[in-house]
Chains A and B, each alone.
Chain A
Amino acid sequence: MVIDMSDIQLYLLEADSSNKTEAQGIATRTASRLQQKTLKLIDLVTSLEPHINDKDNGSIRANSVAYLADVIAALPLKVLSVQERRLLCDFILGRLEGDTEGVGASARALVALEGLGKWDTPTAQKVLRAFLDNTHPLRQFKLQTERYAVVQLIDLLVAKHRDAMRKLHNDDHEFMAGFISYWEGEKDPRNLMIIFSLLQVPMTEWDVHADAQDLFDSVFNYFPITFKPPPDDPYGITSQDLKNRLRDCIAANSDFAPYAFPQLLDKLDSTSMNTKRDVLQALQACITDYEAKTINLYSVTLWDALKFEILNVQEEDLAEEALTSLALLAAKFSNFGEGPLNAYLRPVIKECNEHLEDAPTKQSEAAGRILHALVSSAPQAADKVSKGILPVLFALYNGSESITRRRGLLEAFNQITGGFEKMTGEIPGADCKALQAFADDALAAMVRALVSAPKAEVSFRMASLTGLAQLVSVPGLLSDKQINQAVDTVTNLVLHEQLQGHGDIRTPAIKALSSMALNVPQAVRDRSVPAFMVELPDVSEGDVVPSTVLEAFAQLAAEGQIFDTVVLRLKNKLRSVRHQGASLAYQRALLFAMLYAFTFGSPARDDGVIRSAYYADYADPLTIDFVKDVSSETDPVAVDVVGRIANIILRPQSVHLQSTVYHKAREWLSPANADESGASQHTTPFLLYFYAAMRPEIVEAADVVSMLKAQTVSALSAGASSQAVVTTLRLVSLLVNKFANPKTMQATLAEAGLDVEILTHDSPPAEAIQAAFAVTKGLLIQGKSGSLTTRYLQTLLDLLSGPNSTTTAQNFTTLLAPDEILSKENHCLISGLSQQKLFNQAIPTLTTAIRTATPAQKPAYLTALTGLLRHLPYTLLSPSLTLLTPPLLQTLDLTSTTPDQAAKASALIIFESALMHDAPILTEHTSSLVTRLLNSTSTSANGAGVRAKALQCLALVPRQLKREAVVPFRREVVRRLLACLDDGKRSVRGEAVRCRTAWLGLDEGGEEED
């Protein structure tokens, strides 16, 4: 029997048991039989007959259609003739008249058929007609997938048969009503996405004037979209997707305006911020897309509604959106005609002028923002706004004696200039005559404020300074004379204002001058630079250094336009100052200024690399003057600074250039030469930065060993200054990290006398311990010599139980302490895993040792532990918090020596992070934590930094730990914090207030629950 079953019967069996894949396999088989002509289409249709017309069972009828759809979908092109396709089409449409079971499958079948050969106009129209006539409204079908198939079919019709569909509408004025109501009640987001998209075709392409309201209402019913996708939604439709499509529909046709604007503005009064957000975005879309002549009818209404969002800000982003909307309106009319623009701007200007009369108020500030938005929108709007506002603004300004009023007015004026700056940035060469007409007034007012207003009028003078910079930044606005006046005024402020702290106007003035250097470099070069030079004498009297002038001058280098001028003037000044024998302090200050310029300024670059010519022009001569050809004593600070300038220029340069520089410098840098003259020590800071700049392949292996040897000698020699020692040790770490070959590392180190095991053998001196740490640090960060590093580290850990444990413990923090010299920019080998490796190896050893240590040994272990943890990111130590908490708590019990303070501080920083991120783990320690934090606030044993940090941690306790764990301590904490309110340090008192507020706040939660 089974053998005799036809494909349709098999398909129905599988479909009945929901075996979709098997069923489709059967349909595919049928399709290939049709293709191989072993089955005729007519026989296939006949075989369907009994099932597709099954009177008693709708699902059999539906599955039969599905079978047909699957077969057609599996057919390749050109199997079916035109007649056969027409026959199938008629067959499917004919069925719909009497039976809508399997409507989704019918739609799928039709989509597949259309794919086999494009329909002619009558067929396409017939298909749509059949669906509208027989399946209206679509919501009668409960299955989303069925409706989805129909939606897809109609989407296809509308997209591919645009003319045919439009003709349906043109020929039958009843058509549209049916088409609109067909979708009514659809709620599924997947279907809506397509419906919103297909509706845009009639909305934008058809003449729908008569049906505009119905068409608009059919989509606006969905506004605002409140859809929230379910978690792990497989379809990935977001609420924003729907909002965007809906917004496109609302803005699709100017004929919607009479319905869209009133309804949207009505919803703008909503109490929901999200609704307001959607309304403002829809309004912007409408303003952008509707025709100007339509919007013209609503411009004043829109202004009246939108202004409230700006005058009474509820949410800042809503105000921003409202401002954007106002600007879009202005831009729209600017390209349309005088009349509408005037009609729109007239009430705006009138109201803004009214607000300016009361300046400075919340609303005058809002008026400034509105003016800014309008001016930046388009040249025409900018012109009209300026003509409407500026005469009033300056009349008010001149008519008022109040500096506060004047400040408010200037701020509004600055908003207008700012708008011009933005607008001319987008439309270069745009007309700014209307602003130009008042440039003289503005300039005079601002210069007067800066020159003669009382210095205590901080905000007034600040507004004037901002204004000057903005005026200069609008291209073509000021005449050369006016520009010079602005530049002179600001230069004078920079050079001669002395007020420090509050009311300091120099700092912003320097920024303003920098921005002027961008916009009018020539004026700054011609007027400011000479003025600065006058203030920099060649001879300084005593130790007086014109440092404020130098600082300001160096900051001008931030602007690439005048960088070269600045550094050249500094170099020449340094030369003449040296010539005149000026003080060391003055020379240093000039060097610092150059370093500042090269570090933070904008030197010229070739292909992103700082121009190599700077090396020959600056680094080389400075090296000769301050490092190489120094007969008597060198200045260590100068050597260091010159080294850094050389480093900045040299390190990104090509191998070729570096190699040339290196071989030229090799002669006088080589340790052999230095040993004779004994000058080696003095050049070490330069060497450090010079070698840091070099690519590893430049330096020869023999040089590395001799350099390491020389550094070992200086590192181990007792009695050197601590600064010299630190520099030497950094150089050791650098050389080990970058230049020593990892394969022969131990041999190299042994030859240089730097084998850690030998260095630390048999109660070593402090110098040897430090050197051992420097070597280990270089290796650890490099990460290439794993087993050697592990051995060395263990050696260092073993020292903690020896006689020199305190020195050793204090050195542990150096292993991970960040050092700018060991960086990728300096071509060092930086392993990403060094922190993790060190943590894994050292922390278990240390925590175990702390548990068993004698009271005398314990401080060393705690110091080493917190020293290591200090430079580790919290995420790394977070998983081991349970293990670390007891020793960290013990650290807080340490006494008051300086290294203990550092240990305490780093323990407190970890507790702060732990309270933020892992509070539950600390809950069991609440009592000891609270007690120790309170003890850490006492002045007798703790520095101000520790006290403040302890209070910060303590303030987190009631917020982060469970209420019931904390409440028992409330009374005690609140009482003991009274003493902290009287702490000698103001910053500690501030923390105490915050902390006490947090603990006092605990009570209220409780009372509310009662």
Chain B
Amino acid sequence: MEADKDNANPTIINPSDLPSRRRSAPTAKRAGLFDALAPAYPSLVDGSSSPEPSSSEASLSSDEEPEEIDEQEVYDLISTISDPEHPLSLGSLGVVKLEDIAILPPTSPRSRISTVTVLVTPTTSACSLTTVIGLGVKVRLVNALPPRFRIDVRIKPGTSGTAGEVNKQLGDKERVAAAMENKSLLNVVNNMLATYQGQGALAQQAAA
């Protein structure tokens, strides 16, 4: 029953080797083991119980240091998409990789439009589901990133026999829209996308 899959026994990347934000962002202040033991004075005002008010309950002033959307965030959005033929995520199969995601700032000072480029690596060069995977990635990003991003999803050069054809389809707005009208295709894509856990979940997986 496994024989009809294009690649029945793919190499799986260990979850602790997947890129995650905890690695890329060196924490400015480490949370010490004994912090929780420091004398707690339940604040009479907001009910939180914390030695330093800023660390737990959100107060408006310290709250708003903006965190820019970066490659890791894009990776977290698409790496959890499940592969249509294995019960595994695109990240653990190496189909999407952090180093194959690029965010390009607006080309001119007057433009607000940034571009996100994602290169997809199929598990085998003859993988017949490459288009579906590309569509899944594209649909996820169109829905999950703010409109000031232009989404460009392509097959990584030299990894698929049908890259040219697939890239053409993924780049063509109308053909993407038409594909999403197709009920069975839509179902496959929706099943793939049913698994977004967001940032943090991946790190938990790795810890488990």
- What residues of B have a CB within 8 angstroms of the CB of A459 in the complex? 14, 16-17
Asked if B178 is at the interface (CB within 8 A of a chain A CB), the reply is no
Contact A723 B39 (CB under 8 A): yes
Asked if B113 is at the interface of the complex by the 8 Å CB criterion, the answer is no
Choose one: A502, A946, A984, A990; the contact of B20 (CB below 8 Å). A502
Query: Within A404-421, which residues are at the interface with B (CB < 8 Å)?
Result: 404, 407
Does B55 reach chain A (CB closer than 8 Å)? Answer: no
Chain A, interface SS category: helix
- CB-nearest residue of chain B to A361: B9
Closest to A504 in B: B22
Q: Can you list, as one digit per residue, whether each of B103-142 has a CB less than 8 Å from chain A (1) or not (0)?
A: 0000000000000000000000000000000000000000
Choice from B2, B20, B67 contacting A986 with Cβ under 8 Å: B67
Q: Which residue of B lies closest to A462 (CB)?
A: B16
Interface status of A987 (Cβ within 8 A of chain B): yes
Closest to A730 in B: B42
- CB contacts (< 8 Å) of A462 on chain B: these are 16
User: Does residue B158 face the partner (Cβ distance < 8 Å to A)?
Assistant: no
Of the listed stretches B24-32, B159-167, B168-176, chain A binds B24-32
> What's the least CB distance linking A548 to chain B, in Å?
8
> Which B residues are in CB contact (< 8 Å) with A312?
1-2
Chain B contacts for A189, CB-based, 8 A: none
Given A501-B26, A896-B60, A901-B59 in contact, is the A811-B44 Cβ separation under 8 Å? yes
Greatest chain A CB density within 10 A among B21, B48, B57 is at B57
B57 touching A902 by the CB < 8 A rule?
A: yes
Inter-chain CA distance A592–B144, complex, in Å, is 44
| Known contacts A902-B46, A993-B196, A994-B196; is-contact A727 B73 (Cβ 8 Å) | no
Supposing A360-B11, A637-B39, A986-B67 touch, asked if A993 and B60 sit within 8 A by C-beta, the answer is no
Q: Closest approach, in angstroms, between the C-beta of A937 and any C-beta of chain B?
A: 14
Min CB–CB distance A536 → chain B (angstroms): 15
A608 to chain B, nearest CB (A): 24
Question: Which of A500, A554, A997 is within 8 Å of B30, CB to CB?
Answer: A500
Q: Would A596 and B32 be within 8 Å (CB), given that A362-B9, A459-B17 are in contact?
A: no
Name the distance in Å between B149's Cβ and chain A's nearest Cβ.
9
B147 in contact with A993 (CB, 8 Å): no
Contact with B along A530-569 (1 / 0, CB 8 A): 0000000000000000010011001100000000000000
Chain B nearest Cβ from A315, distance in angstroms: 11
* B45 adjacent to chain A (CB < 8 Å): yes
Query: What does DSSP make chain B's interface, helix, strand, loop or mixed?
Result: loop
Q: Are A551 and B32 in contact (CB under 8 A)?
A: yes
B102 to chain A, nearest CB (A): 19
With A and B bound together, what is the CA distance between A258 and B62 in angstroms?
Answer: 75
Q: Which residue of A has the minimal Cβ distance to B73?
A: A986
- The reply on A817 being an interface residue by CB < 8 A is yes
For residue B8, give the distance in angstroms from its CB to the closest CB of chain A: 8
Q: Determine whether the beta carbon of B198 is less than 8 Å from that of A993.
A: yes
Q: How many residues on the A side are at the interface (Cβ–Cβ under 8 A)?
A: 75
Asked whether, in the complex, the Cβ of B196 is within 8 Å of the Cβ of A946, the reply is no
Contact of B37 with A599 in the complex, beta carbons under 8 Å: yes
Q: Does A982 contact B (CB under 8 A)?
A: yes
Q: Which residue of B lies closest to A981 (CB)?
A: B146
* Contact between chains at B39 and A640 (CB < 8 Å): yes
With contact pairs A813-B47, A944-B58 given, residues A726 and B14 touching in the complex (Cβ less than 8 Å): no
Q: Which of B166-208 contact A (CB under 8 A)?
A: 186, 190, 193, 196, 198-200, 203, 206
Could you tell me the distance in whole angstroms from the C-beta of A498 to the nearest C-beta in chain B? 10
Residues of A within 8 A of B49 (CB): 817
- Cβ of A1001 to closest chain B Cβ, rounded Å: 8
Cβ contact within 8 Å between B45 and A810: yes
A870 contacts B by Cβ under 8 Å:
yes
0/1 per residue, B58-72, Cβ < 8 Å to A?
111001111101000
Asked whether A901 and B34 contact (CB < 8 A) given A363-B9, A810-B45, the answer is no
Given contacts A503-B23, A984-B66, contact A899 B32 (CB under 8 A): no
- The verdict on B101 contacting chain A, using a C-beta distance below 8 Å, is no
Residues of A near B47 (CB, < 8 A) are 813-814, 817, 867, 870-871, 902
Of chain B, the residue at the smallest CB distance from A499 is: B23
Could you tell me if B143 and A685 are in contact, using CB atoms closer than 8 angstroms? no
Q: Tell me which of B30, B44, B144, B190 contacts A726 (CB under 8 A).
A: B44
Docked-complex contact B37 and A592, CB < 8 angstroms = yes
Once the chains are docked, how many angstroms separate the CA of A987 from the CA of B200? 9
**Does A943 sit at the interface, judged by CB under 8 A?**
yes
Q: Is A1004 an interface residue (CB 8 A)?
A: yes
A984 touches B196 (CB 8 A): no
Known contacts A362-B10, A458-B17, A500-B30; is A596 also within 8 Å of B45 by CB?
A: no
Among the listed B21, B34, B200, which residue makes an inter-chain contact with A547, where contact means beta carbons less than 8 Å apart?
B34
* Contact, CB under 8 Å: B27 / A501: yes
CB-based contact B45/A898 at 8 Å: yes
Cα-based distance from A58 to B8 in the complex (angstroms) = 69
CB-based nearest B residue for A723 = B41
Chain B: minimal CB distance from A968 (Å): 21
Residues of B within 8 A of A658 (CB): none
Is A441 an interface position by the 8 A CB rule?
A: no
- The answer for the CA separation of A936 and B27 in the assembled complex, in Å, is 29
Given contacts A312-B2, A459-B17, contact A726 B42 (CB under 8 A): yes
B58 engages A1004 (CB within 8 Å): no
Residues of chain B within 8 A (CB-CB) of A925 are none
Bound: A517/B14 CA distance, A: 29
The residues of A that contact B44 with a CB separation of less than 8 Å are 722, 726, 770, 810-811, 814
Cβ of A954 under 8 Å from chain B: no
Please determine whether A358 and B199 come into contact, CB atoms closer than 8 angstroms.
no
Does A989 make an interface contact (CB < 8 A)? yes
Minimum CB–CB distance from A1008 to chain B (whole Å) comes to: 8
With A501-B25, A770-B44, A946-B58: A596-B37 Cβ-Cβ less than 8 Å = yes
Contact partners of B67 in chain A: CB under 8 A: 984-986
Known: A503-B23, A984-B66. A945 touches B17 (CB 8 A): no
State how many angstroms separate the Cβ of A680 from the closest Cβ of chain B.
Answer: 18
A978 interfacial contact with B, CB 8 Å: yes
Contact B38 A637 (CB under 8 A): yes
Chain A positions within 8 Å of B143 at CB level? 993, 996-997, 1000
B63 touching A944, Cβ below 8 Å: yes
Contact, CB under 8 Å: B146 / A641? no
B57–A987 CB distance below 8 A: no
Q: A341 to B37, alpha carbons, bound, how many Å?
A: 56
**Residue A12 CB within 8 A of the other chain:** no
B146→A982 contact, CB < 8 A: yes
A770 to B42, CA, bound (A): 13
A279 within 8 A of B: no
Chain A residue at minimum C-beta to C-beta distance from B145: A981
Question: What are 20 pairs between A and B in contact, CB < 8 Å?
Answer: A361-B12, A362-B9, A365-B12, A407-B14, A458-B16, A501-B25, A503-B16, A550-B34, A595-B34, A722-B44, A811-B44, A871-B47, A896-B60, A898-B60, A902-B57, A943-B60, A982-B69, A991-B198, A993-B196, A993-B198
* Interface residues, chain B, with chain A CB atoms under 8 Å away: 1-2, 9-12, 14, 16-17, 20-27, 30, 32-34, 37-39, 41-49, 57-60, 63-67, 69, 73, 77, 143-148, 186, 190, 193, 196, 198-200, 203, 206
Q: 15 other contacts beyond A814-B47, A901-B59, with CB at 8 A cut-off? A: A312-B2, A358-B9, A459-B17, A500-B27, A554-B34, A592-B34, A595-B37, A685-B39, A722-B41, A726-B43, A814-B44, A899-B45, A989-B69, A993-B144, A1000-B143
